[in-house]
Structure 1
Amino acid sequence: MIHSHVFPQARLIAVNGVRLEVFEAGRENAGNPIVLCHGWPEHAFSWRHQIPALAAAGYHVIVPNQRGYGRSSRPDEVTAYDIAHLTGDLAALLDHYGYDDAVFIGHDWGANVVWNMALLHPGRVRRIVSLALPYQPRTERPWIELMEEVFGGDHYFVHFNRQPGVADAVLDANAARFLRNLFRTNLPPAPPAPGNVMIGLALAETPLGEPVMDEDELAVFVSAFEATGFEPGINWYRNLDRNWRIVADADPVIRTPALMIYGAQDTIPQSDTLAELVPGVEVVSLDCGHWIQQEKPRETTEAILNWLQG
Structure 2
Amino acid sequence: MTNNNEFPTPTLISVNDVELEVFEAGQKNEGRPIVLCHGWPEHAYSWRHQVAPLVEAGYHVIIPNQRGYGASSCPNEVTKYDIEHLTGDLVALLDHYQYKDAIFIGHDWGASVVWSMALLHPERVSKIINLCLPYQIRGEKPWIDFMEEFFGDDYYFVHFNKQPGVADTILDDNTAQFLKNLYRKNTPAQASGAGMEMINLAEATESLGEPVMSEKDLAVYIAGFNKTGFTPSINWYRNLNRNWDLLGEVSPIIHQPTLMVYGEKDSIPPLPNIKDFVPNIDVKSLDTGHWIQEERPEELNQMMLEWLEK
Residue 2 of structure 1 deviates from its aligned partner by: 4.5
* Structure 1 residue runs of 4 or more that deviate by more than 4 Å after TM superposition: none
Are 1:269 and 2:291 counterparts?
no
What pairs with 1:65-76 in structure 2 (closer than 5 Å)?
65-76=65-76
Residue 190 of structure 1 deviates from its aligned partner by: 2.2
Residue 191 of structure 1 deviates from its aligned partner by: 2.5
Are 1:142 and 2:164 counterparts?
no
What is the distance in 2 between the residues matched to 1:137 and 1:88? 21
What corresponds to 1:166 in structure 2? 166
The one-letter code sitting in structure 2 at the alignment partner of 1:12 is: L
Partner secondary structure for residue 34 of structure 1: strand
What pairs with 1:200-279 in structure 2 (closer than 5 Å)?
200-279=200-279
Contact 2:37 2:44 in 1 (8 A): yes
Residue 31 of structure 1 deviates from its aligned partner by: 1.3
Cα RMSD of the aligned pairs, angstroms, is 0.9
The one-letter code sitting in structure 2 at the alignment partner of 1:299 is: E
What corresponds to 1:154 in structure 2? 154
Residue 112 of structure 1 deviates from its aligned partner by: 0.1
What corresponds to 1:131 in structure 2? 131
What corresponds to 2:35 in structure 1? 35
Partner secondary structure for residue 48 of structure 1: helix
Partner secondary structure for residue 27 of structure 1: coil
What is the distance in 2 between the residues matched to 1:270 and 1:107? 14
TM-score (norm 2): 0.98
The one-letter code sitting in structure 2 at the alignment partner of 1:243 is: N
Deviations 1:226-253 (A, max 9, x none): 1110000000000000000001021111
What is the distance in 2 between the residues matched to 1:55 and 1:138? 36
What is the distance in 1 between the residues matched to 2:27 and 2:259? 25
Deviations 1:34-84 (A, max 9, x none): 000000000000000001110110000000000000000000000000000
What is the distance in 1 between the residues matched to 2:11 and 2:226? 21
What is the distance in 2 between the residues matched to 1:219 and 1:56? 27
Partner secondary structure for residue 28 of structure 1: coil
Are 1:90 and 2:90 counterparts?
yes
The one-letter code sitting in structure 2 at the alignment partner of 1:241 is: N
What is the distance in 2 between the residues matched to 1:218 and 1:2? 17
Partner secondary structure for residue 28 of structure 2: helix
Deviations 1:194-216 (A, max 9, x none): 21100000000111111000010
Partner secondary structure for residue 34 of structure 2: strand
Contact 2:185 2:210 in 1 (8 A): yes
Which sections of structure 2, spanning at least 5 residues, go unmatched? none
The one-letter code sitting in structure 2 at the alignment partner of 1:158 is: V
What pairs with 1:47-126 in structure 2 (closer than 5 Å)?
47-126=47-126
What is the distance in 1 between the residues matched to 2:4 and 2:193? 34
Partner secondary structure for residue 236 of structure 2: helix
What corresponds to 1:292 in structure 2? 292
Are 1:11 and 2:6 counterparts?
no
The one-letter code sitting in structure 1 at the alignment partner of 2:236 is: W
TM-score (norm 1): 0.98
The one-letter code sitting in structure 2 at the alignment partner of 1:141 is: K
Q: Which moved more, 1:244-253 or 1:185-194?
A: 185-194
Are 1:24 and 2:20 counterparts?
no
Identity across the alignment (%): 61
**Count of residues in correspondence between the two structures:** 308
Contact 2:4 2:51 in 1 (8 A): no
What is the distance in 1 between the residues matched to 2:35 and 2:193? 36
The one-letter code sitting in structure 2 at the alignment partner of 1:135 is: Y
What is the distance in 2 between the residues matched to 1:40 and 1:69? 9
Residue 116 of structure 1 deviates from its aligned partner by: 0.2
What corresponds to 1:187 in structure 2? 187
